[in-house]
């Protein structure tokens, strides 16, 4: 594949994609995510759909994991009974 992109539309689309990625990489959430992954070698693990990097609780959870030196894994924080119920699909965690 040629290193030059001849199609102006394709070139613009690629540049826009890179711009969006760079914009995301500079957010507080992305920086915390990266630091968590560097420290622990794993990504932070959340439950629910509300835990985006714009969510204040998600950011605080990652900060707390970094401060305490324990990787964020909300599944591991569940009690054995709740883990079993979650695996069966009997409970939903938001």
Domain membership flag for residue 24: no
For the chain, the average pLDDT equals 79
pTM of this prediction?
0.61
Longest dimension (CA), the chain: 58
Contact (Cβ atoms closer than 8 angstroms) between residue 53 and residue 59: yes
Q: Can you tell me the distance from the alpha carbon of 40 to that of 29, in angstroms, rounded to the nearest whole number?
A: 16
Domain membership flag for residue 57: yes
Q: Can you tell me the distance from the alpha carbon of 53 to that of 44, in angstroms, rounded to the nearest whole number?
A: 11
Domain membership flag for residue 19: no
Residue listed under structure tokens 């883990």: 83
For residue 21, give Cα distances in angstroms to 17, 44, 87.
Answer: 6, 19, 34
Domain membership flag for residue 6: no
Domain membership flag for residue 33: yes
Q: Is the pLDDT of residue 1 over 50?
A: no
Domain count across the chain? 1
Domain membership flag for residue 12: no
Residue numbers of the domain that contains 59: 29-94
User: pLDDT confidence of 92, banded at 50, 70, 90?
Assistant: low
Read off the pLDDT of residues 19-35 as tens digits, 9 standing for 90 and up.
565 556 778 888 898 99
pLDDT at site 23: 58
């Amino acid at each position: 594949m040629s290193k030059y992109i001849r199609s102006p539309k394709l070139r613009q689309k690629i540049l826009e994609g890179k711009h969006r990625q760079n914009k995301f990489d500079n957010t507080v959430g992305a920086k915390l995510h990266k630091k968590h992954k560097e420290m622990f070698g794993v990504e932070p693990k959340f439950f629910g759909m509300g835990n985006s990097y714009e969510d204040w609780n998600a950011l605080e959870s990652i900060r707390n994991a970094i401060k305490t030196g324990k990787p964020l894994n909300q599944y591991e924080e569940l009690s054995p009974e709740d883990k079993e119920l979650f695996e069966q699909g009997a409970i939903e965690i938001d």
